[in-house]
């Protein structure tokens, strides 16, 4: 079929071409009808002059409904004022599928209505821009790790006996083997991968059956988790800052048009360059106290605390060495202060909160076994994980970055629900 | 930490270096001890000469257990006979984690034992090679679509009311919304994406709760599914053959060493170049009959039939236009023969069976509604899918390729269980 696309028109100025696509919008001005064509690669203003056309074509251009499927023929003209920089001096219009009463009109719609029509809502220019930024972020993430010799290591989605309690896990009957649980993180598996392949990353969907109904929560979201053998917490922070710089600068370079569509203030993104500030949990608590908060040392930061801390910086801030009591059992303790875990969280600016959580992992068999027992976790379910400390143990570190929160931050969105084609939330698993 | 890796040694010939890694294997020959170091990027023969070393180091090199974590210091030498082409004239050895009685030894182990120890088995050179080929295939797949302007369109994993019966679906309670089901295919969602973005691809895990215990079946496997608007069955076949050529030729170019490790006969892969043969279902049935099969027109091909057909060709073969009765409800019928569906399956050579299944989709609202009713599917669950034919319908086509079967074929494996870090099968969901 015809494979000329709107994004390729710069090579066809002056030529007569035929384009396939959908009527995105239209307006009329006396003897001229303007029709905005979309084809997924861009938008093209098609201009129908009454004087140049037979009456039927001119009338059709006025009558054709929004989201009708059309073939438009005409000459490509350079037009700096038009969106995309080109327009079509239209000669012919063929409606291949006439659409009437398209439910999503240029007027405002509520979020429930739009989520019900998500399969159509993804056609809107704003949603197209977000999905293209998402794609570019995914590609930047994979390129970053591929170029640095990390091996992809896809962890299982269906996992056996729950590791950290079943209250926030989705579960499914699994043949004669009892229940299986949908993974919350591929990290433990990535650790096995790092000891086999040196440096690995996982990148896939993860699940939380949390009853959180906030603008930051999805029940199904994608997470990338690098893990490195022979790497300590400092190496982990070095990787995290290089990674964030790479992803943000790549999107700024390649998605300028999409960010304009989203009216994103990119000044705040341009700052995402190394080095990123590194402060200890203790220093973060000091910031909160100076700002008048009654935060207690030893507590975990809430969303409001994270915003107060990140406001002190013009780029993402890395907060390291948290009280071990509020962090996961597998994190290594700071040899200089056993009460602290060698953990790092990265807080995004502008109130977007934690986007990265990482740590150096406990690599000593006896210490890890002790922690598993302290946390009253089932030792048997962790025998395979303990094997990684029985055989060829090595210092290792890694982190996880939530894709949808990152898309939300880079696009400057109010709600994470627009960052994925079909969002899943506590009150929605359709369409 | 030290980040010199084995793969980078060619730039350090003559230098004294220190490498971090694990003892993969060792042997002894009088006054020389050989230790094979692995670090995930390669294998390095470290040579300990008794005459050059203090006695403690020499003895340690003989005593250190398989999979111990070590730092080896020495001078890099070019040595064409050594694996990788370099060896280390070792001066020092530091054992940072002594391993004893590593359970996987160079002797033969049964598959159940190895699958129980999968977290360690992934350290074996054969498994490392397979996982690196898998990574290269994944990257080739994504690069192929990214370079051709397909937008990534991640479909949901948790899906609502089952589309094609629940007997082969995993299900999970979903808050107050009843059950959700783990996706078997992102295709229907990809269709919504294609009408928004022109060309899209999905690439993620999919699930089948089938009680099939064969060497081709996993319950959890990754699938890539491109979908194109304004594309018919011929366009779909054009894409499929260009895609297979790209993936196979890329792996041949970039994974020569891994394929050698796997002892893959690559002659049969070199043939995977366009054009691929295209035969109709009718022609495929003729082949079976000529070979003495009692196959009945109208039946679906079984594994043995696929092997008989594919033996006629020295590269993958595309079989198109199947009886509509054995294909899915959403496939468009052949306008020249209403009994046939505009479907295509691609059969891999060497008995690896179907690796691609695709079709042109029914794009007419009334026809599709009729098919849904004929198949006794719940119309309400398909209202959103029908919307794609109500509003801006267009001819569109796509296909799905199963990642693990493709890895199995390209690597020349007997069983699909080695193609993914942690395989899930009817009788296994651990570790």
- Which residues make Cβ contacts (< 8 Å) with residue B344, sequence separation at least 6? B233, B236, B237, B240, B318, B319, B320, B356, B357, B358, B359, B399
Residues of chain B neighbouring A232 (CB-CB closer than 8 A): 1
Residues of chain A neighbouring B384 (CB-CB closer than 8 A): 117, 119, 430-431
Among A13, A256, A258, residue whose Cα is nearest residue A130:
A258
**Chain B residue closest in CA terms to A103:** B391
The SS3 of residue B119 is helix
CB-closest option in B68, B149, B195 to A392: B68
Q: Is the CB of residue A378 less than 8 Å away from at least one CB of chain B?
A: no
Is A67 close to B192, i.e. CB distance below 8 A?
A: no
CB-closest option in B154, B180, B431 to A421: B154
pLDDT tens across the length of chain A (431 residues)? 678 999 999 999 999 999 999 999 999 999 999 999 999 999 999 999 999 999 999 999 999 999 999 999 999 999 999 888 999 999 999 999 999 999 999 889 999 999 999 999 999 999 999 999 999 999 999 999 999 999 999 999 999 965 666 789 999 999 999 999 999 999 999 999 999 999 999 999 999 999 888 888 999 999 999 999 999 999 999 999 999 999 999 999 999 999 999 999 999 999 999 999 999 999 999 999 999 999 999 999 999 999 999 999 999 999 999 999 999 999 999 999 999 999 999 999 999 999 999 999 999 999 999 999 999 999 999 999 999 999 999 999 999 999 999 999 999 999 999 999 999 999 999 99
Give the minimum alpha-carbon distance from B132 to chain A in angstroms, rounded to a whole number.
7
> Whole-angstrom Cα distance, residue A97 to residue A191?
53
> Whole-angstrom Cα distance, residue B161 to residue A372?
39
**Chain A residue closest in CA terms to B70:** A392
Q: Does an H or E element contain A27, and which?
A: strand A16-29
**Chain A residue closest in CA terms to B67:** A392
Is B204 close to A204, i.e. CB distance below 8 A?
A: yes
Give the minimum alpha-carbon distance from A289 to chain B in angstroms, rounded to a whole number.
35
> Whole-angstrom Cα distance, residue B46 to residue B57?
13
What's the pLDDT at A212?
A: 82
In chain A, positions 331-360, which contact chain B (CB-CB < 8 Å)?
Answer: none
Is B197 close to A40, i.e. CB distance below 8 A?
A: yes
CB-closest option in A96, A151, A159 to B131: A151
What's the pLDDT at A1?
A: 61
Cα dihedral A308, A313, A314, A320, rounded to 10, equals -100
Residues of chain A neighbouring B154 (CB-CB closer than 8 A): 134, 205, 222, 420-421
Identify whether the C-beta of residue B144 lies closer than 8 Å to the C-beta of residue B247. Answer: yes
Query: DSSP letter at B160?
Result: S
Rounded to 10°, the helix A233-254/A403-411 angle is 50
Q: How many contacts, defined by CB atoms under 8 Å, are there between A and B?
A: 261
Is A197 close to B421, i.e. CB distance below 8 A?
A: no
> Whole-angstrom Cα distance, residue A64 to residue A254?
34
Give the minimum alpha-carbon distance from A93 to chain B in angstroms, rounded to a whole number.
15
Token pair listed for A93: 């219009």
Residue B34: CB atoms within 10 Å: 17
Query: DSSP letter at A426?
Result: T
Q: Is the CB of residue B404 less than 8 Å away from at least one CB of chain A?
A: no
- Which residues partner with A397 through β-bridges? A228, A360
- Which CA distances in Å does A401 have to A18, A390, A421, B218? 44, 29, 19, 28
Radius of gyration of chain A (CA): 26
Q: Is the CB of residue B117 less than 8 Å away from at least one CB of chain A?
A: yes
Give the minimum alpha-carbon distance from B293 to chain A in angstroms, rounded to a whole number.
36
Among B365, B158, B197, B185, residue whose Cα is nearest residue A122:
B197
CB-closest option in B174, B207, B385 to A429: B174
Residues of chain A neighbouring B224 (CB-CB closer than 8 A): none
pTM for the structure as a whole: 0.98
What's the pLDDT at A3?
A: 84
CB-closest option in A189, A197, A422 to B189: A422
Provide the total of helices (H) and of strands (E) in chain A, helices listed first.
13, 17
Is B1 close to A427, i.e. CB distance below 8 A?
A: no
Query: DSSP letter at A274?
Result: S
**Chain A residue closest in CA terms to B4:** A230
CB-closest option in B127, B158, B428 to A429: B158
In chain A, positions 138-177, which contact chain B (CB-CB < 8 Å)?
Answer: 138-139, 142, 146, 149, 151-160, 170-177
- Which residues partner with B320 through β-bridges? B280, B344
What's the pLDDT at B139?
A: 98
Residues of chain B with pLDDT under 70: 1, 161-165
In chain A, positions 208-267, which contact chain B (CB-CB < 8 Å)?
Answer: 209, 211, 219-220, 222, 229-232, 235
Residues of chain A neighbouring B138 (CB-CB closer than 8 A): 152
What's the pLDDT at B196?
A: 98
What's the pLDDT at A27?
A: 95
**Chain B residue closest in CA terms to A363:** B97
Strand blocks (E) in B79-190: 86-97, 151-152, 158-159, 171-173, 179-182
Residues of chain A neighbouring B131 (CB-CB closer than 8 A): 151, 153, 196-197
Is A40 close to B198, i.e. CB distance below 8 A?
A: yes
Is B1 close to A395, i.e. CB distance below 8 A?
A: yes
According to CATH, the topology of domain B118-419 is BirA Bifunctional Protein; domain 2 (3.30.930)
What's the pLDDT at A213?
A: 85
What's the pLDDT at B1?
A: 61
CB-closest option in A131, A198, A429 to B41: A198
Residue A25: CB atoms within 10 Å: 16
> Whole-angstrom Cα distance, residue A359 to residue A361?
6
First-last CA distance in chain B: 30
**Chain B residue closest in CA terms to A181:** B172
> Whole-angstrom Cα distance, residue B106 to residue B103?
10
Is A174 close to B429, i.e. CB distance below 8 A?
A: yes
- Which residues make Cβ contacts (< 8 Å) with residue A411, sequence separation at least 6? A129, A130, A133, A259, A262, A264, A418, A419
- Which residues make Cβ contacts (< 8 Å) with residue B292, sequence separation at least 6? none
In chain B, positions 16-45, which contact chain A (CB-CB < 8 Å)?
Answer: 20, 22, 39-41
Token pair listed for B311: 């033996």
- Which residues make Cβ contacts (< 8 Å) with residue B43, sequence separation at least 6? B6, B24, B36, B37, B83, B84, B125
Is B198 close to A5, i.e. CB distance below 8 A?
A: yes
In chain B, positions 56-115, which contact chain A (CB-CB < 8 Å)?
Answer: 67-69, 96-97, 99, 102-103
Token pair listed for A123: 């056609």
Give the minimum alpha-carbon distance from B372 to chain A in angstroms, rounded to a whole number.
17
CATH class for domain A6-97? mainly beta
Identify whether the C-beta of residue A343 lies closer than 8 Å to the C-beta of residue A321. Answer: yes
Give the minimum alpha-carbon distance from A149 to chain B in angstroms, rounded to a whole number.
8
Is B131 close to A197, i.e. CB distance below 8 A?
A: yes
DSSP letters of A43-63?
EEEEEEEGGGS-HHHHHHHHH
Interface test with B, best of A19, A255, A431 (most B CBs within 10 A): A431
Residue A106: CB atoms within 10 Å: 9
Give the minimum alpha-carbon distance from B389 to chain A in angstroms, rounded to a whole number.
9
Identify whether the C-beta of residue A348 lies closer than 8 Å to the C-beta of residue A409. Answer: yes
Q: Where are the domains of chain A?
A: 6-97, 118-419
Is A384 close to B430, i.e. CB distance below 8 A?
A: yes
Is A120 close to B160, i.e. CB distance below 8 A?
A: no
Residues of chain B neighbouring A208 (CB-CB closer than 8 A): none
Q: Does an H or E element contain A261, and which?
A: helix A256-261
Residues of chain B neighbouring A3 (CB-CB closer than 8 A): 230
The SS3 of residue B329 is coil
Among B170, B208, B167, B202, residue whose Cα is nearest residue B188:
B202
Among A172, A407, A354, residue whose Cα is nearest residue B174:
A172
Query: DSSP letter at B85?
Result: G
Q: What angle do CA A43, A48, A51 make, to 5 degrees?
A: 165
Identify whether the C-beta of residue B357 lies closer than 8 Å to the C-beta of residue B160. Answer: no
- Which residues make Cβ contacts (< 8 Å) with residue B247, sequence separation at least 6? B137, B140, B141, B144, B406, B410
Q: Is omega for the bond preceding B218 within 30 degrees of 0, making it cis?
A: no
Give the CA diameter of chain B: 86
Residue A211: CB atoms within 10 Å: 11
Token pair listed for A355: 């986007």
Among A428, A354, A412, residue whose Cα is nearest residue A130:
A412
């Amino acid at each position: 079929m015809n494979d000329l696309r709107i994004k390729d028109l710069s090579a066809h100025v002056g030529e007569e071409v035929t384009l396939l696509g959908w009527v995105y919008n239209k307006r009329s001005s006396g003897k001229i009808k303007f029709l905005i064509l979309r084809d997924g690669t861009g938008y093209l203003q098609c201009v129908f002059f009454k004087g140049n056309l037979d009456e039927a074509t001119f009338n059709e251009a006025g009558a054709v409904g929004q989201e009708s499927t059309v073939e438009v023929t005409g000459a490509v003209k350079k037009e700096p004022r038009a969106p995309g920089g080109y327009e079509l001096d239209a000669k012919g219009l063929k409606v291949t599928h006439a659409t009437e009463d398209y439910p999503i009109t240029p007027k405002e719609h509520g979020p429930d209505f739009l989520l019900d029509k998500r399969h159509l809502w993804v056609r809107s220019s704003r949603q197209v821009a977000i999905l293209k930024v998402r794609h570019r972020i995914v590609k930047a993430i994979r390129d970053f790790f591929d170029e640095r010799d990390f091996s992809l290591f896809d962890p299982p989605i269906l996992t056996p006996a729950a590791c950290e309690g079943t209250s926030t896990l989705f579960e499914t009957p699994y043949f004669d083997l009892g229940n299986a649980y949908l993974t919350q993180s591929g990290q433990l598996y990535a650790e096995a991968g790092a000891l086999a392949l040196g440096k690995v990353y996982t990148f896939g969907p993860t699940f939380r059956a949390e009853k959180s109904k906030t603008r930051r929560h999805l029940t199904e979201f994608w997470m990338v988790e690098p893990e490195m053998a022979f790497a300590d917490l400092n190496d982990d922070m070095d990787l995290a800052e290089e990674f964030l710089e790479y992803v943000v600068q790549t999107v700024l370079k390649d998605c300028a048009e999409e960010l304009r569509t989203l009216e994103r203030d990119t000044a705040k993104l341009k700052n995402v360059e190394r080095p990123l500030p590194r402060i200890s949990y203790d220093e973060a608590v000091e910031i909160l106290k100076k700002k008048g908060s009654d935060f207690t040392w030893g507590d975990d930061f809430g969303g409001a605390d994270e915003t107060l801390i990140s406001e002190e910086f013009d780029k993402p801030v890395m907060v390291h060495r948290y009280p071990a009591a509020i962090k996961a059992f597998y994190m290594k303790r700071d040899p200089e202060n056993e009460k602290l875990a060698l953990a790092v969280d990265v807080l995004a600016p502008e109130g977007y909160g934690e986007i990265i959580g990482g740590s150096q992992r406990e690599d000593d068999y006896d210490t890890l076994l002790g922690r598993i027992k302290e946390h009253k976790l089932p030792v048997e379910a962790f025998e395979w994980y303990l094997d990684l400390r029985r055989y060829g143990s090595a210092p290792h570190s890694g982190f996880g970055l939530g894709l949808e929160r990152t898309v939300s931050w880079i696009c400057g969105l109010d709600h994470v629900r627009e960052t994925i084609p079909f969002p899943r939330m506590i009150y929605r698993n359709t369409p």
